[in-house]
Amino acid sequence: MSAPTGVARKRRSIPGIRMRRRKDKYVRPRGGRGADVLTYLAFLVTLIIFGGPLLWILSLSIKTVAEVNDPSLKLIPDEPTLDNYTQVLNSAQFPTFLINSAKLSIGGSLGAMIVAAPAAYAFSRFKFRGKTAALIAVLGLQMIAPLVVAVPLYRYFARIDLLDSHFSTTMVYIAILMPLATWMLKGFFDEIPKELDEAAMVDGANRFQAFVRVILPVALPGVTAVFLLMAILAWGEFVVPFILLSEPSLLPISVGILNFQGTYATTSAQILAAGGVLAMLPAIAIFVAMQRFIVGALTGAVKG
């Protein structure tokens, strides 16, 4: 082979050409393998904390009476059975509990979205005194546990004769869900360019019309994701309906499964476990089916 010419040697000496010919190499982030080990260890601890009780209740739900009373506490029963699920599904009250949960979850989530969407839009678009403090106050409301206000709520609704009412319970659901929904929706509205609002108002729309006709359709995937997440949170709510509702025909599934303890007094443990598993299935199904939207809601809230 002939020696490279002067032009070829110059081309090889250009940094850009050398970089293109060099193979890409993976650069490990700072921390190296130690950081990876800590990350996986944290994931493992989280999985044990949250997955352990789920495995236990699933195991309990397929056990017989004798295995429930077995002191060895085996995770995998020797004779798994589905009779516990059959008894729960054959209960006349179980469909009523599911319908009540759907009513309260959808009503509370929809009401929270109606209140939170305009509030989130205002926080996203307007500048006013005390805006940061108001945002912190909204987040602070989310940190108040329902158990803290349970007794005052009971006395208040008893005084105005609104106990054992889905209406009053839905109003409390709205108040509980609204702060988190506001924060999440604000994150989505922040990502929408303000030029869309301005273009709509130049065309003759007022601020509210621009919000309803332009911004909401653009943010519809985020709004849907937040609505689904609020519905899942409302589905698992226990304290509020436990305090405000006492009629069996009005109870949601989160509280109604406690009635199985009185109905099946001799086999209550596995029956309650089977009812708990069945109560979780709708929320799990919604999360699995709409995982992309829900994760997008959480991502948008963090970015906001």
CATH of the domain at 172: 1.10.3720.10
Burial, 118: exposed, middle or buried (Cβ in 10 Å; 0-12, 13-18, 19+)? middle
- pLDDT at 68 (0 to 100): 77
Cα of 133 vs its chain's centroid, Å: 25
Please give the residue range of the domain that contains residue 136: 88-303
- pLDDT at 166 (0 to 100): 94
Domain contains 42 = no
Domain contains 259 = yes
- pLDDT at 28 (0 to 100): 52
With beta carbons less than 8 A apart as the criterion, state whether 91 and 260 touch: yes
**DSSP character string of 196-211:** HHHHHHHTT--HHHHI
- pLDDT at 115 (0 to 100): 94
Domain contains 97 = yes
Pairwise CA distance, residues 55 & 62, whole Å = 11
Best CA proximity match to 260, nearest among 29, 119, 93 = 93
- pLDDT at 288 (0 to 100): 83
Domain contains 220 = yes
The angle formed by the CA atoms of residues 100, 148 and 277, to the nearest 5 degrees, is 40
Query: pLDDT tens for residues 233-244?
Result: 999 899 999 999
- pLDDT at 18 (0 to 100): 46
Domain contains 75 = no
Look at the chain and report how many structural domains it folds into: 1
Domain contains 102 = yes
Residues of the chain with pLDDT under 50: 1-2, 6-26, 265-266
Domain contains 186 = yes
Domain contains 218 = yes
- pLDDT at 31 (0 to 100): 52
Q: Which long-range contacts (CB under 8 A, 24 or more apart) does 114-120 make?
A: 115/174, 115/178, 116/177, 116/178, 116/179, 116/181, 116/182, 116/185, 116/226, 117/185, 117/216, 117/223, 118/211, 119/178, 119/182, 120/181, 120/182, 120/183, 120/184, 120/185, 120/186, 120/188, 120/189
Using alpha carbons, list the distances in angstroms from residue 18 to 10, 22, 23, 27, 100.
11, 6, 10, 19, 68
Pairwise CA distance, residues 120 & 190, whole Å = 9
22: which DSSP letter? Answer: S
The two three-digit tokens of residue 122, written as one number = 């205002």
- pLDDT at 290 (0 to 100): 78
Largest Cα separation within the chain, whole Å, is 101
